[in-house]
Amino acid sequence: MTTRAQLRTAARERLEDTASPPLWSDAALNGFLADAVAAYGARFPRTAQALAAAVAAGALSVLLPAAVPEEGVAGVVDPSGRAVERFDGPGFAPGTGVEQGWRVWAGAVRFRRPVRAGEAGAWTVEYRAGREAVADDVSAQPIGAGDEPIVVALACAAAVERRAVEDAKRGSRPVGLPGLAADFRSEAERLIAARRRRLRSGVVVPA
């Protein structure tokens, strides 16, 4: 379990900001970490489930749950727990022998044929969603195991970039800071690429 406090400590160590008082406040680093978690989530969305409204027999569609983005829908499960296959056909097929299917359109799950009595009930929508930083220092931060260095590198890059901007506004020349920020960004991209290679090779990283 990785907490915000642990990520913040790791970021301070990478930034060599361990003096008292530190250059970056806890609040500032928390903000950079929140941005880093969001950026990480855009590259590696979390998987989630949401129950749609109860579907009655004969229904042709059901609205997506409010939290589910259309582009994030990855699967649909009927009330019996059976995963229903996606279809990309032109639309409704009334035949009695047609296998059930689904597609997303205009904020709803559209069924391939009317829902049968045995399929009535609460359908589950599986989807990919972004990630948000936790709001305290003790809760587990929802990132994949071993992905902490990605988030820390992204946060450090943002912190150094912000510092360079602030120095420039004060008329100081941010010597070395742009290069350091670029190094952190490059490190994050290398770690992200390595993570993707692990996923492609079949090594699943829990999220």
Mark which of 129, 163, 180 sits at the end of a domain. 129
Q: Is residue 205 part of a domain?
A: no
Residue 202's pLDDT is 59
Mark which of 129, 160, 176 sits at the end of a domain. 129
Low-confidence ranges of the chain (pLDDT < 70): 89-96, 174, 202-207
Cα distance between residue 76 and residue 189, in whole Å:
33
Which tens digit of pLDDT belongs to each residue from 88-142? 866 566 655 788 999 999 999 999 999 999 999 999 999 998 899 999 999 999 8
Residue 91's pLDDT is 59
Q: Is residue 181 part of a domain?
A: yes
Residue 9's pLDDT is 97
Cα distance between residue 189 and residue 180, in whole Å:
14
Q: Is residue 207 part of a domain?
A: no
Check whether residue 80 and residue 96 sit in a common domain: yes
Cα distance between residue 94 and residue 122, in whole Å:
22
Check whether residue 39 and residue 107 sit in a common domain: no
Residue 94's pLDDT is 60
Q: Structural domain of residue 74, as residue ranges?
A: 47-129
Tell me 147's DSSP state. Answer: -
